[in-house]
Chains A and B, each alone.
Chain A
Amino acid sequence: MKLEVGYIDIKGIRFGDYNAVEDGILIVNPEPLLEPVLEDPLIKSAHFEIATPGESIRITPVKDVIEPRVKVEGSGGVFPGMISKVNTVGSGKTHVLRGMAVVTAGPIVGFQEGIIDMTGVGADYTPFSKLHNLVLVMEPVDNFKQHEYEAAARLAGLRTAVAIGELARDLVPDETVIYETPTVAETFKEEWKHLPRVGYVMMLQSQGLLHDTYVYGVDAKRTLSTMISATEVMDGAIVSGNCVSACDKNTTYHHQNNPVIHDLLAVHGKKINFVGTIITNENVYLDDKIRSSDWTSKMASYLSLDAAIISQEGFGNPDTDLIMNCTKLEKQGIKTVIITDEYAGQDGKSQSLADADELANAVVTGGNANEVVILPPLDRVIGTLDYVDTVAGGHAGSLRPDGSIEAELQIITGATNEMGFNRMSAR
């Protein structure tokens, strides 16, 4: 598949009385954008706030982060099966509003939503502090059911991102990049014969109970492992619908900009032969874990891979899916590198993963999610601080009287991302 992605750089967001992108500035007129959001009977109220990098702003509880995109040419529309019709995406031309995101926030859905600080220590840990954020703050009606509120909040965020993305349809991109994925036959061509055949195994959170991911609108826990083109992922074929710990949740933005995919494509045909992407789930039945990892290893074998990179989402029992995927590939002679994060205790001395195997001998870690950070008080809160003590990573007393927060890294959206999205490192 061949996808031309035109990036339009967003340098700021401001409110106005019309919706448009002018000279890199997104102008937002809230009323027409909020209309479809408020049509949902579960959403009592909604409004927008703007957060700019460097501002003294704390956004919480953050549910999802979404990059506005629009399909300009080719079949389908962004977020197929979820917002657009289910038709295949990944070909043609897509415009991206780069440097900004739609962030959904508001009273909590589950107990695992996060914080984005736009300045200070917290900002260093989340990639989203570097974006111009249009925050959609929603409040549900009373007596809602959690899963229905989750769906309503998820769809509201996606609809808003689609409406914003639509503003970029006729713009001239600042940069255009062509991404192309080969057919299996093409991967055997002579000039790539000397390159190692590398695949990407993308594990999707699918534990249920507000821990779900959607592929073309299908709940990933109801799927067998399958293949997807890297360019389909860029067009929003995979959408986050979950409240796993904020630090290692793969938001929709992470999927749209999956760094493993981008890095593999960048060296494809030069250092490696990027054969394809396998998606697999992380379910709560042992049989599912065995079946899905078996299926992953069968597909890796069909593709004659020499090596694979495996990325994860969440932690705990998904560590077993990770280790099964890793060991089953390794036992077929397919070398693996796993990307994960660690829950090694606040002192870093405990076992990092719930499961382990000596075949998992090449590991990239996003960091220790239990590490304690102290976030300074910030001037403005978008959303509410009501849940800081109770979300994963917080504890009774996390929110201190002066407005500072003492919590584990878990609480920061994207802090220990298991696609390797972040740039912080340690020696």
Chain B
Amino acid sequence: MVKEIERTGIPVVHMCTVTPISMTVGANRIVPTIAIPHPLGNPELPLDEEYALRRKLVDKALEALSTEVDDQTIFEV
């Protein structure tokens, strides 16, 4: 899906937990996330801390989206 959308000229950020798979399949902008069952959150955190975590992940994804890359790049959070 990442590659097909990019093929149309729209840049994509792949947010995922297992970044090696993302590298293998050829995503260009990768943001590592929390865990496979809950990539964009952490149910063990209190609500306010979790909100902050989610916000940080989305901000990082937006930053990645607006960053020029020459090669496959992992944007560490």
Tell me the chain A residues, 297-355 only, with Cβ under 8 Å from chain B. Answer: 317, 319-320, 323-324, 354-355
The interface size bin for chain B is 10 to 19
Report whether B36 and A207 are in contact in the complex, using a CB–CB cutoff of 8 Å.
yes
CB within 8 A of A284: which of B20, B24, B36? B36
Report whether B32 and A286 are in contact in the complex, using a CB–CB cutoff of 8 Å.
yes
- Is A289 an interface residue, CB under 8 A from the partner? yes
- In angstroms, how far is the closest chain A Cβ from the Cβ of B75? 14
Quick one: CB contact mask for B1-43 with A, threshold 8 Å, 1 for yes? 0000000000000000111110010000000101111000000
- Is A209 an interface residue, CB under 8 A from the partner? yes
- In angstroms, how far is the closest chain A Cβ from the Cβ of B10? 23
- Report the Cα distance A207→B17, complex, angstroms: 13
**By CB atoms of chain B within 10 A, which of A209, A320, A357 has the most?**
A320
- In angstroms, how far is the closest chain A Cβ from the Cβ of B34? 8
Hey, which chain A residues are within 8 Å of B34, CB to CB? 285
Hey, which chain A residues are within 8 Å of B32, CB to CB? 286
Number of residue pairs across A and B with beta carbons under 8 Å?
36
- Is A53 an interface residue, CB under 8 A from the partner? no
Report whether B21 and A319 are in contact in the complex, using a CB–CB cutoff of 8 Å.
yes
Report whether A285 and B35 are in contact in the complex, using a CB–CB cutoff of 8 Å.
yes
Name the CB-closest residue of A to B17: A286
Hey, which chain B residues are within 8 Å of A284, CB to CB? 17, 35-37
Majority secondary structure of chain A interface residues (helix, strand, loop or mixed): loop
The interface on chain A, measured as residues whose beta carbon lies within 8 A of the other chain's beta carbons, has a size of: 16
Tell me the chain A residues, 93-117 only, with Cβ under 8 Å from chain B. Answer: none
Report whether B21 and A317 are in contact in the complex, using a CB–CB cutoff of 8 Å.
yes
Report whether A354 and B36 are in contact in the complex, using a CB–CB cutoff of 8 Å.
no
- Report the Cα distance A183→B57, complex, angstroms: 49
- Report the Cα distance A426→B12, complex, angstroms: 41
- Report the Cα distance A285→B37, complex, angstroms: 9
- Report the Cα distance A324→B35, complex, angstroms: 17
CB within 8 A of B20: which of A207, A208, A209, A323? A323
Report whether A324 and B20 are in contact in the complex, using a CB–CB cutoff of 8 Å.
yes
Majority secondary structure of chain B interface residues (helix, strand, loop or mixed): loop
CB within 8 A of B21: which of A208, A209, A285, A354? A354
Hey, which chain B residues are within 8 Å of A286, CB to CB? 17-19, 32
Report whether A355 and B21 are in contact in the complex, using a CB–CB cutoff of 8 Å.
yes
Given known pairs A284-B17, A286-B32, A317-B18, the reply for A208 and B24 (CB within 8 Å) is no
Name the CB-closest residue of B to A317: B18
CB within 8 A of B37: which of A209, A320, A355? A209
Hey, which chain A residues are within 8 Å of B35, CB to CB? 284-285
- Report the Cα distance A354→B36, complex, angstroms: 14
- Report the Cα distance A80→B21, complex, angstroms: 36
Hey, which chain B residues are within 8 Å of A320, CB to CB? 18, 20-21
**By CB atoms of chain A within 10 A, which of B20, B34, B35 has the most?**
B20
Report whether A355 and B20 are in contact in the complex, using a CB–CB cutoff of 8 Å.
yes
- In angstroms, how far is the closest chain A Cβ from the Cβ of B55? 21
Quick one: CB contact mask for A359-384 with B, threshold 8 Å, 1 for yes? 00000000000000000000000000
- Is A155 an interface residue, CB under 8 A from the partner? no
Report whether A355 and B17 are in contact in the complex, using a CB–CB cutoff of 8 Å.
no
Hey, which chain B residues are within 8 Å of A356, CB to CB? 24
Hey, which chain A residues are within 8 Å of B36, CB to CB? 207, 284-285, 317
- Report the Cα distance A207→B36, complex, angstroms: 9
Quick one: CB contact mask for A265-290 with B, threshold 8 Å, 1 for yes? 00000000000000000001110010
- In angstroms, how far is the closest chain B Cβ from the Cβ of A355? 5
- In angstroms, how far is the closest chain B Cβ from the Cβ of A407? 25
- Report the Cα distance A2→B17, complex, angstroms: 43
Interface residues of B (CB under 8 A from A): 17-21, 24, 32, 34-37
Beyond A285-B36, A357-B24, 16 extra complex contacts between A and B, CB < 8 Å? A207-B37, A284-B35, A284-B36, A286-B17, A286-B19, A289-B18, A317-B17, A317-B18, A319-B21, A320-B20, A323-B20, A324-B20, A354-B21, A355-B20, A355-B21, A355-B24
| 7 tightest Cβ-Cβ pairs between the two chains A and B | A284-B36, A284-B35, A317-B18, A320-B18, A285-B35, A320-B20, A355-B21
